[in-house]
Structure 1
């Protein structure tokens, strides 16, 4: 049985399970530092529950 798998490429459940196990061993990779408007937005954005603006 094929399932839509890794990066949209069909693969078997066994193949997908193997890739997911390898990814879990690698751990969480650190993100790049944010710059420019994206940094400004992520540092100062207010949630939609509070009006979705900037502080």
Structure 2
């Protein structure tokens, strides 16, 4: 088959193709997941900044 007579070579090719497919599927599933946390992080940073300025005013 394709000039490849060893099962280990065939297995290596199959595993490489399967891992590439798995990487593509993982990328599609996790696309833009980091953007979900951004509004929360911005709100926390804004609150932290307000608290910091209040503390500096007290000092």
TM over 0.5: no
Q: Looking at CA atoms only, which structure, 1 or 2, has the larger radius of gyration?
A: 2
Give the strand-richer structure, 1 or 2.
Answer: 1
Bigger relative CO (Cα 8 Å, ≥ 6 apart): 1
Give the helix-richer structure, 1 or 2.
Answer: 2
